[in-house]
Amino acid sequence: MRDVRPPYSLRTPLRIVAVVLLLSAWGLPAFANPISQLSSPQSFIAHPSGEGYFIANANGEPGTADNNGFISKLDQDGNLLDRHFIQGGRGDTILHSPHGMGIAGDTLYVADITVIRGFHAQSGAPTVTVPLHPFHVEALTDLIADGSGQLYVLDTAGNAVYRIDPQRDFEVSLYLQHEDMGSPRGLAVHPRSGRLWIASLDNGNVMEIAEDRTMTEVISNSFFTGKFRNLSGLDFDRFGSLYLSDVTAGKIWRVQPDRSMQVIAEFLISPSSVKIDRRKHMILVPYLYADGAEINGLEQPVNTGTQRKRKRTLSDYGLGWLEGDEKP
């Protein structure tokens, strides 16, 4: 799998990471909440009930089986409650390099290299371990709960999606495998169709998987039309707009239902995924090599369409001091 890590010089503190704060398209108040002192955060999700958030920290080089990964817990307002809510190596907890997460019932499920681990969402106590070793998986990444009790997880290196059924003693089955997935890194369920969508790390394509498990390329990233470099995540808001994170380009894209596209944030340091809190209409972005994350209200750009009169600069994103402005 391609190494998309930024140079060491770009692995900077969260204080220079900026997400664009824009005017709300749905009347929401402007809101931004940075979370610092994390350690290689790979994913960031909201509890579907609205009672809080969880951040998965690799705590070292992602993919390393060192049993020191941890999950941070935030309250419903995005304030840090417990940085080490779940900690690998503490008691009987095993957690190496947590990546994708999903919540079903009272259980927080976490993709951890080659296994799925379940923890009680309230107490953090381990509840179940689902090994995928028989399928020879190499790198489990994004994981989702589809709302009906089923879990889906990506094997990025194996170009595959697996389904786990908790109601059948956590039966694991290969849902779809195809080389055209291009190292899938982002996984989401469309809020209206219920179909799975995936984002490719290698070729930047976005694909939809139908009920008969056929795969359709929804957004093509060809040599001539390419907008993306390495897509690292995707998710939908409740209105059907799609959000994409590009870990190499440092951008967050929004794709409207009519397929119009816009960059809503850029100059970001290694956005490792993107998830949406659909209840509160918030965007959740972890910064892998900035050791931080951020919650932002989903808002409408002010400098698009007829209002876009000038080229955006670093000052528009809180980074004007990099251009010689006075540092805030």
pLDDT tens digit sequence for 126-155: 999 999 989 999 899 999 999 888 999 999
Residue 269 is predicted with a pLDDT of 92
Whole-number Cα distances in Å, 228 to 224, 249, 257: 12, 7, 19
Query: Is 1 among the domain residues?
Result: no
What's the confidence (pLDDT) of residue 300? 42
> Residue 202, Cβ neighbours under 10 Å: how many?
18
CATH number for the domain including 72?
2.120.10.30
DSSP state of 203: T
Domain contains 328: no
Distance separating alpha carbons of residues 107 and 279, to the nearest angstrom: 19
pTM above 0.75, yes or no: yes
- Contacts of 241 by beta carbon, 8 Å cutoff, 6+ apart: 254, 255, 256, 257
pLDDT at residue 21 is higher than 60: no
179 in a structural domain: yes
* 109-131: pLDDT as tens digits: 999 999 999 999 999 999 999 99
Q: Tokens 């969880």 belong to which residue?
A: 54
Q: Summarize pLDDT for 71-86 with one digit per residue, the tens.
A: 999 999 999 999 999 9
Number of domains composing the chain: 1
Mean pLDDT of 275-296: 94
Instruction: Give the chain's length.
Output: 328
> Is 253 inside a domain boundary?
yes
Contact indicator for 97, 104 with CB cutoff of 8 Å = no
pLDDT value of residue 299 = 54
Range of the domain at 148: 8-323
**Structure confidence at residue 227 as a pLDDT band (50, 70, 90):** confident
Does 3 map to a domain?
A: no
Tell me, what's the pLDDT at 298? 78
Residue 328: is its pLDDT beyond 60?
A: no
Beta bridge partners of 35: 293
Tell me the residue ranges of DSSP E strands in 169-256: 171-177, 184-189, 196-200, 206-209, 215-219, 231-236, 242-246, 251-255
- Each residue's pLDDT tens digit, 147-199: 888 999 999 999 999 999 999 999 999 999 999 999 999 999 999 999 999 99
Does any domain span residue 240?
A: yes
